[in-house]
Amino acid sequence: MIGFALLAASIGFLLGFARFRVLVLLPAFLVLLISLVLFSVTADLGGWRTAYAGILGTIGLQAGYLLAVLERAVRQNNVASAKSSSFGLSRFI
């Protein structure tokens, strides 16, 4: 289940890093839940383990997306501050 949550977080990070809107998470949740149900049927997991994996996957998907958006915002802020602070230094470098 931890691997499933890490995979969901990675997919969420890629969706956020690719500059998709937050509404792309709705189809991602749908695919996540369908794959989780199919996996739980084939692995013969109980209802509680399936619910636990679904909660972990959903939180992982959201956390990955949020981390990618925050990383992109921090990167843009650092680029903007680096351009303003290096005024005139490009002549000497």
Sign of torsion, CA 47 52 53 55? positive
Among the listed residues 15, 4, 21, the one whose alpha carbon sits nearest the alpha carbon of residue 57 = 4
Among the listed residues 59, 60, 62, 38, the one whose alpha carbon sits nearest the alpha carbon of residue 50 = 38
**What per-residue confidence (pLDDT) applies to 43?**
87
Asked if residue 32 lies in contact with residue 61, where contact means CB atoms within 8 angstroms, the answer is yes
- The neighbour count for residue 89, using CB atoms within 10 Å, is 8
DSSP 91: G
**pTM of the full structure:** 0.76
pLDDT per residue of the chain (93 residues) written in tens, 0 to 9: 788 888 999 999 999 888 888 889 999 999 999 999 998 899 888 889 999 989 999 999 999 999 999 988 888 777 666 555 555 545 444
